[in-house]
Amino acid sequence: MQPIQIIKPLSPKKHKKVIVVISLVVLLAGLLAGAAIWFNGGVRPIFDVFLPTPDPTSEKLGKKREASKNSTTNEFGAIENSMGFTSGSASTYDSCYKGQNNYKVHSGFSNRCTLRTTKYYGSNINFRSEMMKLDQVLVSTGWQSSEKDSLPYYMTDYYDTGRKISQLPEVRGGYTKKDNRIDISYAEKGSNSLYNLEMFQGFSLIGFPFYEEKKFQDVASVFNQITANNQFIVAISIDTKYYEN
């Protein structure tokens, strides 16, 4: 029969050392976990695992897409009713894409679907006065404008210095309303700078789309058609977000 061993309790000094060691281990584990979460873009990627990728062809998204189209039609209608533009062709770009959430980029969403509609207009009225009027029309219909990405700013700080219309910065989301944004590009008659007018038809703001439906125009043909009787062309793109998780 083995003798009974009596385990002596730790002395107060050793007891404190054990507590300190355990505390340090817990603290280190917490720091490592926090660093891992930060490095991978916060807690968002953890939740992304449980968020389903939407089916762009589903009835649910179809209804949301149709509502987005109707909203865009109304917004363009408000612009056309107030401006003296010659109306031209339109293009659409429907896309769904995944967000990026890591230590470099934090999109803040897992999946997003947007509908981008671009319409081309022409005019023989003074370009500056028309752009200032367009700004007033957008603001009066509820669009919020950015101080440094707005038509008045580009007219005053760029156009008034003698730049050509095609040399002006484009409006890139300077006008917003809820989940919508407006981009605006322009060019004078005879311009060879049609890249932005072409690019405005559609692009993904973040990442690569897993769904796309493009109905684009031949911008060179549209440009020639509109500028045949107008002194400049304006491309207005309305980008609407109709799904996000």
3-state helix, strand, coil in the chain (%, to 5): 40, 30, 30
Give CA–CA dist 134/175, Å, rounded.
11
Q: What percent of the chain stands above pLDDT 90? A: 63
Q: Report angle CA 184, 76, 56 to the nearest 5 degrees.
A: 90
Q: At what angle do helices 59-82 and 127-140 cross, to 10 degrees?
A: 130
Residue type, 202: G
Give CA–CA dist 183/178, Å, rounded.
15
Work out the number of other CB atoms within 10 angstroms of the CB of residue 187. 25
The per-residue pLDDT for range 26-80, each reduced to its tens digit, is 666 555 544 444 455 455 555 555 578 899 999 999 999 999 999 999 999 999 9
Contact 206, 100 (CB under 8 A): yes
Give CA–CA dist 183/196, Å, rounded.
11
Q: Report angle CA 196, 200, 202 to the nearest 5 degrees.
A: 140
Position 245 pLDDT exceeds 50:
yes
Higher pLDDT, 203 or 191: 191
Structure tokens at 220: 């060179």
Is the pTM higher than 0.95? The answer reads no
If you average pLDDT over every residue of the chain, what do you get? 85
The per-residue pLDDT for range 93-118, each reduced to its tens digit, is 999 998 876 667 666 788 999 999 99
User: In this structure, is the dihedral angle defined by the CA atoms of residues 100, 106, 108 and 112, taken in order, positive or negative?
Assistant: negative
Higher pLDDT, 155 or 101: 155
Give CA–CA dist 179/200, Å, rounded.
18
Model pLDDT, residue 202: 85
The number of C-alpha atoms within 13 Å of 187 and in the hemisphere containing its C-beta is: 20
Higher pLDDT, 31 or 138: 138
